Amino acid sequence: MKNHLVQLQELGLKDYKETWDYQQKIFQEIIDSKIRNRRESTSKPTQNSLLLVEHPHVYTLGKSGDLSNLLLTEEQLALKKATFYKINRGGDITYHGPGQIVGYPILDLENFFTDIHQYLRLLEEMVILTLAEYGLKTERSEGETGVWLDVGTPFARKICALGVRASRWVTMHGFALNVNTNLGYFDHIIPCGIKGKAVTSLHVELGKKEVSEKEVKEKLLKHFSNLFEAELQTNQELKAL
């Protein structure tokens, strides 16, 4: 039985390692449930979650990433009040920090479709449709995950990074959309290991001091629900059931 309910949890500002551990816990619970179903020949529905969070300054390096793309020493990281983690997602190095909306869909794709390529393209489409509501034309860049502006020109710049992990069709990690992000922190890495490509943020593109992150989240969730044909439930709604 396919379960299209997705439990939405807004975690606010939360330490990266704490959130990673929490993701891993939910991820493992879904996998354990699938193994139990297979072992016991049952078909109990598996759960899906979507975590929205903002992190203090942190750099993360994917399993195939190159440490030389981090341009800071441990001492310089400390001065920047930033942390660094090597993690088990795909992709190279990226930055998370205040003013950035980070989303971690922890989905059993067997509830939706079994295609990682389609999964990544739908996450990108969710962001593309959201930014279109602000009058921005964004697109994919061939061979590079994420969402970009002015692809194929000297002014190409990335506004949203993607990096995921999947096991037994269960996903973790996800996307990071720059909304009011301090882009100076990207100067200390070679973002995603791609030299000569700039990074941007929604408030910079709109020429605004600040953009409502609450409004951006609402638009992202609307498009997520439509694209994945999912029904989002908050913790409060779940408790009321």
- Which of the residues are catalytic? 192
Q: Quick one: which H or E segment has residue 232? A: strand 231-234
DSSP letter (8 states) at residue 130? H
Give the Å distances, CA to CA, from 42 to 46, 73, 94: 11, 51, 40
Smallest CA-to-CA distance from 169 within 238, 99, 97, 119 is with 119
Radius of gyration for the alpha carbons in the chain, expressed in angstroms and rounded: 18
Cβ burial of 214 (10 Å; 0-12, 13-18, 19+) is: exposed
Q: What is the DSSP string of 111-124?
A: GT-S-HHHHHHHHH
- Chain mean position to CA 217: 12
Other beta carbons less than 10 A from residue 118's beta carbon: 12
Distance between CA 225 and CA 80 in Å, rounded? Answer: 37
